Amino acid sequence: IRAIKREHCRQFTSEMEQNLYGAQRKVWKMLRNRKKPVNEYVQTEIISPDIWEKYCTELYQDEETTETWVNEDETPDDVLITEEELRKRIEKLKNRKAAGTDNIPNELLKYGKKKLI
């Protein structure tokens, strides 16, 4: 770690000397951000490949959790939705938002509403 810090200090000093005349903004920017590059090289804990593999397999383990949510209190079955109401609601959908329980993206509903309705 000391060797890395020394090398960084040497490199930092040489860049400062080059930019001292004519590029003062660059010098001040370097002074403000001088600790950032040193931290990139320092690794505090070495992770073994076995632990890394175990972590990744647990993280990306394929679990089939398909839950169906039914809220019967909210909307009774005899309520009719008109095409106009449906069009207005689809137009108000925001792009790049998570899909609902049907897993249909909002963009697909918005751009395909003529064929879907």
Query: Per the domain annotation, does 14 fall within a domain?
Result: yes
Q: Look at residue 76 in the predicted model and tell me its pLDDT.
A: 63
- Is 88 among the domain residues? yes
Which residue, 40, 37, 42, 13, is CA-closest to 27?
13
Is 69 a member of any domain?
no
pLDDT over threshold 70, residue 36: no
pLDDT, one tens digit per residue, over 57-110 is: 787 676 666 666 666 666 666 678 888 998 899 889 888 787 777 778 888 888
Domain that holds residue 104: 83-116
60: in domain: no
- Sequence letter at residue 77: D
Q: Is 61 part of any domain? A: no
Percent of the chain with pLDDT over 70: 64
Place of tokens 């960084």: 8
Render pLDDT for 17-33 as a digit per residue (tens, 0 to 9).
Answer: 776 666 667 767 766 77
Element (H, E) at 53: helix 49-59
Residue 73 lies in a domain: no
In a domain, 109, yes or no: yes
Q: How many CA atoms lie within 13 A of 117 on its CB side?
A: 18
Instruction: Give the total number of structural domains in the chain.
Output: 2
For residue 37, being part of any structural domain is answered with: yes
Residue 5: pLDDT band by 50, 70, 90 thresholds?
confident
